[in-house]
Structures are given as structure tokens and as C-alpha cells.
Amino acid sequence: MRKDRVLRTVVIFQAICLIVLTGLVVVKMLPLLQSDKDEPEAAPSGENGLIEHPDPEGMDGQVVASVGGVPITRGELAKELYSLHGDAVLRQMLVRRAVMLEADVQGVNVSKDELNLALAQAAEAYGGEEAYFEAMQEQLGMSKEQAMAELNHHLLLEAIAIREAAVTEDEIKDYLRQHPDYGEPRRELHLNWIVVASPSQAGDLLTWLGDGDGFAELAAAYSQDEYTADSGGDLGFIDEDDPFYDAALLAEARNLQVGDIAGPIFLEDGLYAVIRLAGRRSKGGIPPERVKEMVRRELALQRVGSLSSLEEKLLASHEASIVK
């Protein structure tokens, strides 16, 4: 169990780091790479055939840092960033414009309800919209407006993809028959636990708890789970079918009333747990009137496959080119 939790933590941390790095590069580079609105239509070519944009305000010579008394200018920074990440950022700019052009051609748009639903789903993992926007600002340097624009872009791309993959009513009905819980709120359990080495130790804990000893105090004193012992054995809210926790533990927890204690429960790593259900709640879910629409979207996206391949198709369709 603990190994699974460590692995989960590492994977999540690596994913966040990758997102943060990509987001920071894109957000910080765009002002440096975008040309000035008032620049002339034709600009002279420089080395390697790249178009050179004039710098009427002398911003390229602005000093942005120094080391050992040697300055680093804005122009040097922009050149280095372009050489490292310019192709990726330029492609992203082209894709966004191609998606907008195709959306206009097909008459596709994103409604306010669709955008709000996507926001709610994205924010759910962060504990709410406010926390979501704070995370986008802290991790990616994105304002609320930029985060919403990113969601809108993704929804537009998906809408275009769905247009290319027809899904019948019979297919939707078959899918819902196979997935009767589709769209239902996600049920979560708030659990506390104390992990010990043997069933006899777990039995002692149950006796002490029955005598009125505090769960948090016993967890701090006896639990072998180093991640939760100091917090009174608090696991927080977890999905009632979370694959990272033992099935036997979750099965026992589902049958408890809030405040109930159970154990000993044998864990897959050979240890034993005493658990307490501290609370339960339901989160998320899809409004009934939107279920068919969401199933249609899901089936269509499965049929289309990779959205990156659609991006390439749109770039070709709208004759995207890079001048070098």
C-alpha cells in the first residue's frame, strides 16, 4: 500500500512539473516572440532565413539580468528561448489560429453552459474554481482569462473532432446500457486509519478505542503509516473504489456509518488496519439532460483518435506555413 502511494505521489509530481515547465515557457515566450502590431508588412531576412522584426523602442537592448558584471539583454534572452522552444510555441500559435478558422467554417462555437461544465470538471480535482485558478496562476503563470481561453480552445478542437465522427442514437443507448452509472456523482469516503503489524495489535487498538481513547492520539502513537500518523491517521476524502487502496479496506468502509470503527483489516502489504469513517460525500456528476450529449462526445473522440492528428490536418487544410 505505501509503495503504491509513493509511486502515485511521484507520478503526480512529475506530471505537474512537466505541465509547469511547458506552461511557463509558453506564457513567458509569447510576448517575446510575437511581432509588434505596427511593424511593416515586409521585413528583411536575417541569418538562417529568419524574418528580422524591427525594434523601434530598443527593447532588444534592455538589460534583464547580469552576472559578474556582464549584462544579459532582452534580445539575447529571446534568441535563446526561440532556439530552445520557438518551434513548439510557434506550432501552438498556428494550431490555435487554424482551430478558430475551422470553427468559423463549420459554424462551431462553445456555449457558456459547455464552458462552465468543462470548468467545473477541471476544477473538481483542485477543490473548487477559486483553487483551480490560483493553481493555474501559481503553476503556469496564467490569469483567469488565459485559463478560460485554454479551456475554450480545447472544447473547440473537440467539437470539430466530433463533427467528423457520426455517432448514432443506438450506439449511445448501447453505451448507457453497458455503463448504467455513467454521469452519476462520484462517491467519496473520508477515512482515518491506524496501520499496525499484527491482528493482535489491531485488537488492542479496538479495545482502547472502545474504552474512549482518542483515534488521533492512538494513530500518532502506534500507526506504522509514516504519511498519516502525525495527522491522526487522516487519509482525507478518497474515491470509494480508488484503485490505489486495498479493495478489502474500501469494501469494509462502504458499509460503515459515519463515526463507525472497524478492523482489523488485512492489507495487501501484510499489515493490518483499523479504520474510522469520518464522513462521506458525492462530487461531480453530469446533469441528466447532458448525459447523452457527453456520451456522444466520448464515443466520437474515441473514434477520431488522437487530437494531435486532427491538429495536423487543420494546419494542412488552412495552409499553415513557417517562413524560415
Query: Average of pLDDT values for 106-129?
Result: 84
Res. 250: pLDDT tops 80: yes
Range of the domain at 263: 186-283
Q: Is residue 18 part of a domain?
A: no
Residues 274 and 298 occupy one common structural domain: no
Q: Residue 219 maps to which CATH number?
A: 3.10.50.40
Predicted confidence (pLDDT) at residue 56 exceeds the cutoff of 50 = no
Same domain flag for 48 and 109: yes
Same domain, 274 and 294: no
Give the model's pLDDT for residue 223: 92
Per-residue pLDDT tens over the stretch 176-229: 888 877 777 778 899 999 999 999 999 999 999 888 889 999 999 999 888 998
312 plus 241 within the same structural domain: no
Residue 181 is assigned to a structural domain of this protein? no
SS3 readout for the chain: CHHHHHHHHHHHHHHHHHHHHHHHHHHHHHHHHCCCCCCCCCCCECHHHCECCCCCCCHHHCEEEEECCEEEEHHHHHHHHHHHHHHHHHHHHHHHHHHHHHHHHHCCCCCHHHHHHHHHHHHHCCCCHHHHHHHHHHHHCCCHHHHHHHHHHHHHHHHHHHHCCCCCHHHHHHHHHHCCCCCCCEEEEEEEEEEECCHHHHHHHHHHHHCCCCHHHHHHHHCCCCCCHHHCCEEEEEECCCCCCCHHHHHHHHCCCCCCEEEEEECCCCCEEEEEEEEEEEECCCCHHHHHHHHHHHHHHHHHCCHHHHHHHHHHHCCCCCCC
Q: Give the pLDDT band (50/70/90) at residue 57.
A: low
Q: What is the mean pLDDT of residues 299-315?
A: 80
The pLDDT-based confidence of 12 (bands split at 50, 70, 90) is very low
Is residue 5 in some structural domain? no
* Domain count within the chain: 2
Say if residue 304 is in the same domain as residue 248: no
* Confidence bin at 312 (pLDDT 50/70/90): confident
Instruction: Classify residue 322: in a domain, yes or no.
Output: no
Are 164 and 261 found together in one domain?
Answer: no
pLDDT category at 275 given cuts 50, 70, 90 is very high
Q: Are residues 129 and 39 in the same domain?
A: yes
- Is 101 within the bounds of a domain? yes
Whether 3 shows a pLDDT value over 70: the answer reads no
Q: In the predicted model, is pLDDT for residue 317 greater than 90?
A: no
47 lies in the same domain as 126: yes
Let me know whether 247 and 142 are in one domain.
Answer: no
Q: Mean pLDDT throughout 46-72?
A: 65
Residue 300 pLDDT greater than 90, yes or no: no
Assigned domain for 313 exists: yes
User: Is the same domain home to 195 and 262?
Assistant: yes
User: Average pLDDT for residues 254-267, to the nearest whole number?
Assistant: 90
Q: Give domain status of residue 237, yes or no.
A: yes
In a domain, 51, yes or no: yes
User: Is there a single domain that holds both residue 142 and residue 51?
Assistant: yes
- Same domain for 160 and 137: yes
Across the chain, what does the average pLDDT equal?
78
* pLDDT of 4 strictly over 60: no
pLDDT at 31 over 90: no
